[in-house]
Amino acid sequence: MSLKLLMGNEAIAYGAAEAGVQVAAGYPGTPSSEVISTLARLAGEKGFYVEWSINEKAALETAAGASYAGARAIVTMKQVGLNVAADPLMTLAYIGVKGGLVLVVADDPGPHSSQNEQDTRLFARLAKLPVLDPATPAEAKEMVKYAFELSEKLNLPVILRPTTRTCHACQDIEVADAGEKSRPASGFEKSPDWVILPGLAARRHIWLNQQQEVARELLEESGFNRLVNIQGIGEQVPAGIIACGVSYNYVREALGMSWLNLPVLKIGAPFPLPVRPVLDFLTRVKRVLVVEEQEPAVEDQVIAMAWRSKLLTGISGKNDRLVPREGELNTDKVKTILENFLEIPSAGLETAEPAPELPLRPPVLCAGCPHRASFYAFKEAARGTDAIFSGDIGCYTLGAMAPLNAVDTCLCMGAGITIAAGLHRVEPHRKQVAFLGDSTFFHSGIPGLINTVYNKAEVTLVVLDNSTTAMTGHQPHPGVGRTAAGEQGIPVDIAGLARACGVKFVREVDPYDLPASTEAARAALAYPGPAVVIMKRECVALVKKKRAYTIDQLSCTECGLCLEDLGCPAIGRKEGKPEISKSCYGCGICAQICPSNAIREESR
Amino acid sequence: MNLDIVISGVGGQGSVLASRALALAAMERGLAVRTSEVIGMAQREGSVVSHVRMGEELYGATIPDHRADFLLGLELAETARALDKLKPGGTVIASTAAIVPATVQLGLSTYDRENITKYIKERARKVFFLDLEELSRQAGHAKTGNVIILGALSTLPGLPFGPEQMLRAVLRFVPEKFLELNQRAFAAGRAAMEVA
């Protein structure tokens, strides 16, 4: 064993490797992405297979196939990715698995980088699958290894649900020096049990329900739900805490800060919740506070258990609004919750003087980002019309910010084009433009494009092709052709795909060439029928800058257009005058819009 | 001993490397560590905060308010934004350099350097201001502010590791061709504290 500083997602990858995983698949999504990228680094040495799949459904189905053949498989995604994989998941629970199959679904309370705060523990309940909720990166590593064993004992997929504060936290963690090589798989054996027909579904549903109780027993033996902090506490105490996942950390620290010594039931296996530890705890305390982020997934099960056992223990949490149901918890919030629960005065510090007004600093498109140029071209082309710009999920969602204000709708991956088609049905006279990135196009944009062609919706689809999945950390995708393991394959051509889908207007243009891209945008908007414009330029994070621009102060009329129309972080003001900073990437868009030709390439 | 350090700045300034290097240095002293970082959408020129915790009995990776022993501010306004994390009597090392966000150019917010500086001085009793912009220029690269501030921190008492150990941890995260640059940056941070 050796000690390493590992991020939660890396710890999960190391755990999977130590468990002898054979197949790993996932789609990038913050905060889950580093599991697959770490596995990709380990794959060569350990001899297992890793892929970035085109979406979460493809990833889960790939893992299911591997498991059918007896291999251990892991699949990773963020919480909303599970919605995309919901179709295979719900029935895979009926069919069952052979090799251990672990789904890592990263939740994002806050949310920090997500479009909602859905709670995967409730999804697990819907799918009737066990779920583990780690408190720390080290526990996540331990849990992923256990999850493979549990999956094989139950013949069910098992979900590991870390949250952002585990995924992106680092800890000192023991790692096996020479982990096992991948184990040989037993192979696929033909059987009618792999073919879900209504008759089989009816039988398997009964089996699946029976497995719930087996899972509950096994999870109880796992030790992930256990009593802690019980020193010096007698048989009956006035109050206790049940804490799930990362909330356990906040509870322990808040208790320490308040010099309180209350018993804590730590929950690492929230569904199906083992009954005995909960009932034991409820009989020892008069009142209990359930602390968990997001939904009352544990609390509602505790209430049901108390009711069925006719226990009169007071149960507090989200149902009596002591614990918020939205946002992320932290030690400070939990300390206040504890004080409210125990009705003790707050021992907070005096409130310090308030900070002066601080500048707003939201995330913005990088200096030189080709998306800024693409949005600008389409805004120019649509000037004077009431065109609607539907957006999608990616860095380019930031096009919604001032001054671009170029995103009028954003819902979920791949939704831009189909929402635009729906808008077109109601207001056929309005121009509809849908923007999506290259990786999102492959993820779920293609069916929407075909739907648009098939149903004759007049939508212009703009593919912002920067040759990467930028926002989640620059993962490759089919348009690039490079795999997670770094092998070069055949790149899938977006323009060719659009033509094959029946689109007659397909143009590829460089967004850095503003006249050409504005012309392409105008032509697409004027085209009767679905049109596709591919804005092709690599992400600035992937290509070193080759030039920079500067403002000739003699020619500058201080009109402010470069500042106010582009919102480029490289353009600021110095003593009132526009100035380009060293962070200029050299895209040259500002030079192309300057009415007095005052912005010029810097001579080197 | 338990020690909590907050590093605040703007996405792209290298706060993640700084927090990992501190954690690694502490780990090599046999301490338990936790870090928490902002990765993802917010890193694109947005406000970012890294938390580093080291010691014996650690729980959460994020530092509660008024608990941090040190606040390392890679940008002036972001130092002020993170001040609630500092414990009474805690120490601040703050960059005097400002990164003015686009919202200020667009008239959506303001950046009042004087007021912000005054506020930092009033709220924290132990403050060291460094011109990270100028120091990183001298060190030879605009993006070395993170290592300069670690060099500065290494001159202060109360750390569980010495400057050599801290530098060694920093260099573990740096590609070979930048080793010398980062050694220079670390030394520049140490030298700046003699003046500050």
Cβ B80 vs Cβ B119: under 8 Å: yes
> Vertex B12, ends B91 and A171: CA angle to 5°?
65
Is 80 exceeded by the pLDDT of residue B175? Answer: yes
> Which pLDDT score is estimated for A180?
62
Shortest alpha-carbon distance between residue A560 and chain B (Å): 9
> Which pLDDT score is estimated for A354?
80
DSSP per-residue letters across A386-439: --EEE--SSGGGGGGSTTT---SB--STTHHHHHHHHHHHH-TTS-EEEEEEHH
> Which pLDDT score is estimated for A349?
59
Shortest alpha-carbon distance between residue B84 and chain A (Å): 9
Q: A432 Cβ partners below 8 Å, 6+ apart?
A: A387, A388, A390, A420, A421, A423, A424, A457, A458, A459, A460
> Which pLDDT score is estimated for A541?
92
- Using a CB-CB distance cutoff of 8 angstroms, which residues of chain B are in contact with residue A569? 45, 101-102
Mean pLDDT across A141-166 = 98
Is 60 exceeded by the pLDDT of residue A135? Answer: yes
Q: A563 Cβ partners below 8 Å, 6+ apart?
A: A571, A572, A573, A578, B105, B106
| Residue A234 confidence class, pLDDT cut points 50, 70, 90 | low
Rounded Cα distance between A386 and A431, Å, is 7
Place of tokens 């966000």: B101
Is 90 exceeded by the pLDDT of residue B106? Answer: no
Judged by CB atoms closer than 8 Å, whether chains meet at B40 and A31 is answered as yes
Least-confidence region, from A22-31, A153-162, B35-44: B35-44
DSSP per-residue letters across A451-502: HHHHTT---EEEEEE-SSBTTTT-B--TTT-B-TTS-B-PPPPHHHHHHHTT
Rounded Cα distance between A92 and A159, Å, is 13
Is 60 exceeded by the pLDDT of residue B46? Answer: yes
Is 90 exceeded by the pLDDT of residue A56? Answer: yes
What domains does chain A contain, in order, with CATH numbers?
A: 2-222 (3.40.50.970), 226-342 (3.40.50.920), 370-536 (3.40.50.970), 549-601 (3.30.70.20)
Q: At what angle do helices B132-139 and B145-153 cross, to 10 degrees?
A: 100
Rounded Cα distance between A320 and A295, Å, is 13
Is 70 exceeded by the pLDDT of residue B43? Answer: no
Judged by CB atoms closer than 8 Å, whether chains meet at A364 and B41 is answered as no
> Which pLDDT score is estimated for A418?
98
Judged by CB atoms closer than 8 Å, whether chains meet at B65 and A332 is answered as yes
Mean pLDDT across A121-138 = 98
CB-nearest partner of B111 from A353, A359, A582: A359
What domains does chain B contain, in order, with CATH numbers?
A: 3-195 (3.40.920.10)
| Helix/strand/coil for A4 | strand
> Quick one: tokens of A465?
């092709």
The listed range with the strongest mean pLDDT (A37-46, A213-222, A576-585) is A213-222
Is 80 exceeded by the pLDDT of residue B42? Answer: no
CB-nearest partner of B33 from A171, A359, A403: A171
| Residue A230 confidence class, pLDDT cut points 50, 70, 90 | low
Cα pseudo-dihedral A346, A351, A354, A358, rounded to 10 = -50
- Using a CB-CB distance cutoff of 8 angstroms, which residues of chain A are in contact with residue B103? 359-362, 402
Partner residues linked to B93 by β-bridges: B72, B128
Rounded Cα distance between B130 and B145, Å, is 10
Rounded Cα distance between A185 and A124, Å, is 27
Q: Please name the residue of chain A whose CA is at the shortest distance from the CA of residue B23.
A: A5
Judged by CB atoms closer than 8 Å, whether chains meet at B119 and A402 is answered as no
Rounded Cα distance between B10 and B120, Å, is 18
Mutate to test the interface with B, among A170, A244, A365 (most CBs of B within 10 A): A170
Shortest alpha-carbon distance between residue A227 and chain B (Å): 16
Mean of all residue pLDDT scores within chain B: 94
Q: What sign has the CA pseudo-torsion A163, A167, A171, A173?
A: positive
Q: Please name the residue of chain A whose CA is at the shortest distance from the CA of residue B111.
A: A359
Rounded Cα distance between A305 and A225, Å, is 16
Is the pTM here over 0.90, yes or no?
yes
CB-nearest partner of B60 from A246, A358, A563: A246
Judged by CB atoms closer than 8 Å, whether chains meet at A5 and B20 is answered as yes
- Using a CB-CB distance cutoff of 8 angstroms, which residues of chain B are in contact with residue A108? none
Cα pseudo-dihedral A471, A472, A478, A483, rounded to 10 = 140
ipTM of the complex: 0.96
Give the number of A-B residue pairs with CB atoms closer than 8 Å: 166
Q: Please name the residue of chain B whose CA is at the shortest distance from the CA of residue A169.
A: B36
Residue A282 DSSP class: H
> Which pLDDT score is estimated for A576?
84
3-class secondary structure per residue, A146-186: HHHHHHHHHCCCEEECCEHHHHCEEEEEEECCCCCCCCCCC
CB-nearest partner of A330 from B64, B102, B122: B64
Least-confidence region, from A474-488, A504-518, B17-31, B32-46: B32-46
Judged by CB atoms closer than 8 Å, whether chains meet at A3 and B115 is answered as no
> Which pLDDT score is estimated for A336?
96
- Residue A291 has a CB neighbour count (10 Å cut-off) of 29
- Residue A556 has a CB neighbour count (10 Å cut-off) of 18
Judged by CB atoms closer than 8 Å, whether chains meet at A349 and B88 is answered as yes
- Using a CB-CB distance cutoff of 8 angstroms, which residues of chain B are in contact with residue A363? 11, 41-46
Q: What sign has the CA pseudo-torsion A278, A279, A285, A287?
A: positive
Alpha-carbon Rg of chain A, whole angstroms? 27
Mean of all residue pLDDT scores within chain A: 95
